[in-house]
């Protein structure tokens, strides 16, 4: 205690940095502490964004909650109680005992309080209590049934009422219930927000539960302790990490699990890309980038047939019009040339040559007869004519040459219009495209001896083949599409699987770190709790040969448990089997009390039903001391059928208020306050007053002292009741009482609520009960030092009157 408890988060961050946990692992742990979402984020974002400062999350609310105390328990027609009866309780810390024989109905108060607040009763809800379940309604009071608990919140004015009531024929589960603060409307019980605290700090304990606390399921005890120590955060963290591990493990396997189906799809596909994908998938590590490219269909280079088909579709022939024009030009040239055949033009060149030779001959042999025909003399006149003739013939020869050249050009143009036959037409284009016709048509195309009609047929053959190729390509692409889609989906899955595999390593490290460190953190937090248990055990064990060593949380998963280090006569491990019932119950209390009185509890009260049963006498005074110790800071209400506990309290002079319950016929209960500190002091004072063996002076001093104690106790009652009702916090009330050491101050506090009003005390006392009260007050104050002569029995009686008047 003392120093502020550090949050689980703080402890973990500290340990993480102390043992140099790798960043990603530390990151996962802290994210898991913060919550599910944070963990998911950390897992998705991958190994980065390391949390460093998260102090703003932890360290919340280590202040103690406002506590509620019981003001009264009212019961009608429930269990052993018939007509309505109210058990009044003094608000604030203190010990109240309710005693009564078995069957007096006292336990019904405890059950009613528990049932009112929790809606259940552990004693019945444990297995096999169907009889109890049916017998909840009082036999003698069947019409009206209700239970009501009035409470006061520490430091708050007013009363909070929790009530459950049943219709005449309603079942136990059919109660209507509400909570109502004074002056406020009725509200459902849930507004109290006690569901979790009731689980954590359950302030009710019954006899039957005592043993069960020790003998209950080890894992439940473990979890209960975890929760109470605020370690459920650790538990949540562990659970989140384990869930994440399972999820991630699943994700990391999906790619592998889906691979066979993908391979079947690929196998049934002809496409060369399918083969490529198979090769990539067979590799030891998947090349996801290559697979993604393949899936997108962008790279067709791998597919030979598709390449050929695509070549086919790329074939282009000139337009028919162009070929027609070329053919027309060619034919025109032919026609021109053939028109000159048989004309002089065709011979002009030759004749011009002949005449030129003849002219050369004539120049050397002028005037001689023609050597060819031997008739005509080749004279000057012939030469002149022949020269004219040669000039005309040359012009004619030029025309014939031009026609010749024109034909040659047209021939060449025609030959060049259609490219050479592509080699792909000789290849195998699969079942969907047959190049034979197109190939034959291409072969048959032999310009210049071609016609436009021939070209049209040629073009048709090629276009038909191209159409086939295009269609084949389209079909192939359509068939690949779903496989490409599947491949692309799988590739994404595989990417996530690979990422998950990487994350899984970190998660596993985080889990094992938490397992190792978690137990250290747990036991560090457990230490104060365990020491309370040890103290409780020490007080109860008396001279028992059972030693209770440190309590630890041990094990993990289904093996988790609270390890009680119990040794019997120094022999470890002998454990619970050899312990007596009484010892088991004492141990049960040792486990119950630290929980019920944990600092985080909003309950200022604990209600214990019959803890004394089967306890050795020596343990009973240990119990008396223990309960009175707890009662210093808690309102402790104990129900017991055994008078040993009240006797021990009285004998040890431990303050307690004792109520005795008796039961008349028809379940009518009678409550009587049989002991409280004031009554006890006055009893002692009267006993002392009658002890005539003692000297008068000694008796007078002793009686005055006891009467003073009685008045102080009465004043304390008054001060506590008033201040707490006024909304003063319990701690402040106790401080005020502690500061008022002298009876005069205490009286001023009781009468006026302030020690500063000391001067008005006597006046107020006179107003309350005349001079008699003033005298009692004076005699009690001074008589402790200077024996006041007089009737000591009268002093005790007057003191009792004053005490009663004060408390009224």
Partner 1 sequence: MSASSVTPEELLDSADQLLTSSFAGSGNVWPQACALLTRLALELTLDQHWARNLPSAAECGMRQQLLLLPSYGGPEAALLAREAWLGLAGATHHHAYELAPTAAELRGWHTTVTRLTALLAP
Q: Site residues (CB under 8 A) for partner 1?
A: 542-545, 616-618, 621, 647-648, 651-653, 684, 687-688, 691, 693-695, 698, 701-702, 705-706
Residue placing its CB nearer to partner 1 in the complex, 637 or 648: 648
Nearest to 120 by CA among 164, 61, 150: 164
Residue 618 Cβ vs partner 1, minimum distance, rounded to whole Å = 4
Residue placing its CB nearer to partner 1 in the complex, 617 or 790: 617
Residue 63 Cβ vs partner 1, minimum distance, rounded to whole Å = 36
Residue placing its CB nearer to partner 1 in the complex, 684 or 779: 684
Q: For the packed helices 288-296 and 452-541, what is the interaxial angle rounded to 10 degrees?
A: 140
Dig out the tokens for 3 from the structure: 């120093």
Residue 744 Cβ vs partner 1, minimum distance, rounded to whole Å = 21
Residue 97 Cβ vs partner 1, minimum distance, rounded to whole Å = 16
Kindly report whether the peptide bond that precedes residue 370 is cis, defined as omega within 30 degrees of 0: no
Neighbours of 384 (CB within 10 A): 10
Q: Give me the helices (H) in 559-695, please.
A: 581-596, 617-630, 644-651, 677-689
Rounded to whole angstroms, how far apart are CA atoms 109 and 78? 9
Nearest to 737 by CA among 755, 751, 725: 755
Helix (H/G/I), strand (E/B), else coil: 480? helix
Residue 127 Cβ vs partner 1, minimum distance, rounded to whole Å = 33
Rounded to whole angstroms, how far apart are CA atoms 589 and 609? 12
Residue placing its CB nearer to partner 1 in the complex, 582 or 604: 582
Residue keyed to tokens 């047209």: 410
Residue placing its CB nearer to partner 1 in the complex, 174 or 543: 543
Residue 565 Cβ vs partner 1, minimum distance, rounded to whole Å = 21
Residue placing its CB nearer to partner 1 in the complex, 602 or 705: 705
Q: Give long-range contacts, CB 8 A cutoff, 24+ apart: 295-301.
A: 295/484, 295/485, 295/487, 295/488, 295/491, 296/484, 296/488, 297/273, 297/477, 297/480, 297/484, 300/273
Residue 99 Cβ vs partner 1, minimum distance, rounded to whole Å = 17
Q: Which residues contact 434 (CB under 8 A, 6 or more apart)?
A: 465, 468
Give the DSSP H or E segment for 145.
strand 145-153
Residue 551 Cβ vs partner 1, minimum distance, rounded to whole Å = 23
Residue 507 Cβ vs partner 1, minimum distance, rounded to whole Å = 54
Residue placing its CB nearer to partner 1 in the complex, 512 or 691: 691
Rounded to whole angstroms, how far apart are CA atoms 89 and 673? 11
Residue 34 Cβ vs partner 1, minimum distance, rounded to whole Å = 52
Residue 541 Cβ vs partner 1, minimum distance, rounded to whole Å = 9
Dig out the tokens for 689 from the structure: 């007053």
DSSP code per residue over 291-324: HHHHHHT---TT-HHHHHHHHHHH-----HHHHH
Is the dihedral angle over the CA atoms 344, 348, 352, 353 positive or is it negative?
negative
Helix (H/G/I), strand (E/B), else coil: 171? coil
Give yes or no for a contact between 795 and 704, defined as CB atoms under 8 angstroms apart. yes
Residue placing its CB nearer to partner 1 in the complex, 596 or 688: 688
Residue placing its CB nearer to partner 1 in the complex, 281 or 618: 618
Residue placing its CB nearer to partner 1 in the complex, 699 or 720: 699
Neighbours of 569 (CB within 10 A): 9
Residue placing its CB nearer to partner 1 in the complex, 448 or 705: 705
Residue placing its CB nearer to partner 1 in the complex, 195 or 652: 652
Q: Which residues contact 451 (CB under 8 A, 6 or more apart)?
A: 327
Residue 680 Cβ vs partner 1, minimum distance, rounded to whole Å = 11
Q: In what order do the strands lie in the sheet with 605-609?
A: 204-206, 605-609, 635-640, 94-99, 657-663, 669-675
Residue 681 Cβ vs partner 1, minimum distance, rounded to whole Å = 10
Residue placing its CB nearer to partner 1 in the complex, 154 or 621: 621
């Amino acid at each position: 205690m003392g120093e502020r408890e550090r949050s689980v988060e703080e402890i973990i961050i500290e340990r993480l940095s102390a043992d140099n946990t790798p960043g990603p692992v530390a990151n996962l742990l802290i994210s898991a502490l913060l919550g599910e979402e944070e963990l998911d984020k950390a897992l998705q974002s991958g190994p980065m964004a390391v949390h460093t400062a998260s102090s703003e999350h932890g360290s919340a609310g280590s202040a103690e909650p406002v506590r509620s105390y019981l003001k009264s328990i009212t019961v009608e027609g429930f269990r052993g109680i018939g007509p309505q009866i109210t058990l009044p309780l003094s608000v604030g810390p203190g010990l109240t005992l309710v005693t009564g024989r078995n069957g007096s109905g006292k336990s019904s108060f405890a059950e009613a309080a528990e049932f009112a607040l929790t809606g259940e009763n552990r004693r019945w809800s444990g297995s096999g209590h169907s009889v109890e379940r049916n017998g909840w309604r009082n036999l003698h009071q069947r019409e009206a049934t209700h239970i009501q608990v009035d409470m006061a919140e520490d430091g708050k004015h007013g009363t909070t009422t929790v009530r459950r009531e049943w219709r005449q024929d309603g079942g136990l589960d059919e109660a209507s219930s509400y909570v109502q603060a004074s002056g406020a409307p009725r509200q459902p019980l849930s507004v109290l927000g006690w569901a979790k605290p009731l689980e954590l700090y359950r302030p009710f304990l019954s006899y039957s539960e005592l043993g069960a606390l020790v003998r209950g399921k080890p894992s439940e005890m473990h979890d209960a302790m975890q929760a109470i120590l605020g370690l459920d955060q650790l538990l949540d963290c562990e659970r989140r990490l384990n869930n994440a591990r399972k999820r991630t493990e699943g994700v990391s396997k999906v790619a592998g699990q889906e691979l066979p189906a993908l391979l079947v799809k690929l196998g049934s596909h002809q496409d060369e890309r399918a083969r490529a994908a198979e090769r990539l998938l067979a590799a030891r590590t998947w090349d996801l980038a290559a697979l993604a490219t393949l899936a997108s269909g962008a790279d067709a280079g791998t597919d030979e047939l598709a390449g050929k088909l695509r070549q086919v579709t790329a074939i282009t022939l000139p337009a028919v019009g162009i070929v027609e024009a070329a053919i027309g030009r060619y034919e025109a040239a032919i026609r021109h040339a053939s028109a000159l055949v048989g004309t002089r033009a065709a011979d002009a060149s030759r004749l011009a040559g002949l005449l030129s030779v003849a002219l050369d001959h004539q120049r050397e042999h002028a005037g001689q007869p023609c050597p060819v025909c031997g008739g005509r003399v080749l004279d000057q006149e012939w030469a002149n004519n022949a020269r004219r003739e040669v000039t005309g013939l040359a012009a004619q020869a030029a025309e014939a040459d031009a026609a010749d050249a024109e034909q040659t050009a047209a021939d060449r143009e025609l030959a060049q219009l259609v490219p050479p036959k592509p080699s792909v037409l000789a290849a195998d284009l699969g079942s969907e495209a047959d190049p034979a016709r197109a190939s034959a048509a291409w072969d048959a195309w032999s310009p210049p001896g071609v016609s436009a009609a021939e070209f049209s047929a040629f073009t048709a053959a090629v276009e038909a083949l191209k159409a086939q190729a295009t269609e084949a390509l389209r079909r192939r692409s359509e068939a690949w599409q779903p496989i490409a889609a599947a491949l692309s989906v799988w590739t994404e899955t595989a990417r996530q699987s690979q990422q998950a595999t990487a994350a899984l390593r970190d998660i596993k490290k985080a889990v094992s770190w938490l397992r190792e460190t978690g137990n250290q953190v747990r036991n560090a937090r457990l230490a104060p709790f365990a020491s309370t248990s040890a103290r409780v055990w020490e007080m109860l064990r008396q001279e028992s040969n059972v030693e209770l060593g440190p309590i630890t949380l041990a094990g993990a998963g289904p093996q988790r448990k609270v390890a009680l280090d119990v040794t019997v006569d120094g022999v470890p491990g002998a454990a619970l089997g050899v312990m007596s019932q009484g010892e088991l119950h004492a141990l049960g209390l040792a486990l119950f009390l630290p929980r019920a009185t944990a600092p985080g509890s909003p309950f200022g009260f604990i209600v214990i039903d019959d803890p004394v049963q089967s306890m050795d006498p020596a343990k009973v005074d240990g119990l008396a001391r223990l309960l009175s110790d707890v009662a210093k800071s808690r309102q402790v209400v104990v129900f017991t059928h055994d008078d040993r506990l009240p006797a021990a309290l009285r004998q040890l002079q431990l303050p307690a208020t004792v109520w005795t319950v008796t039961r008349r016929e028809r379940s009518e209960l009678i409550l009587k306050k049989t002991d409280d500190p004031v009554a006890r002091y006055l009893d002692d004072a009267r006993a002392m007053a009658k002890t005539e063996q003692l000297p008068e002076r000694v008796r007078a001093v002793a009686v005055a002292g006891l009467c003073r104690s009685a008045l102080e106790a009465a004043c304390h009652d008054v001060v506590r009741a008033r201040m707490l009702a006024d909304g003063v916090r319990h701690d402040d009330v106790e401080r005020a009482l502690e500061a008022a050491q002298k009876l005069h101050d205490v009286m001023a506090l009781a009468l006026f609520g302030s020690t500063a009003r000391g001067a008005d005390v006597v006046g107020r006392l006179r107003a309350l009960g005349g001079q008699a009260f003033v005298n009692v007050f004076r005699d009690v104050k001074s008589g402790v030092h200077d024996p006041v002569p007089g009737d000591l029995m009268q002093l005790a009686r007057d003191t009792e009157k004053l005490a009663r008047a004060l408390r009224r």
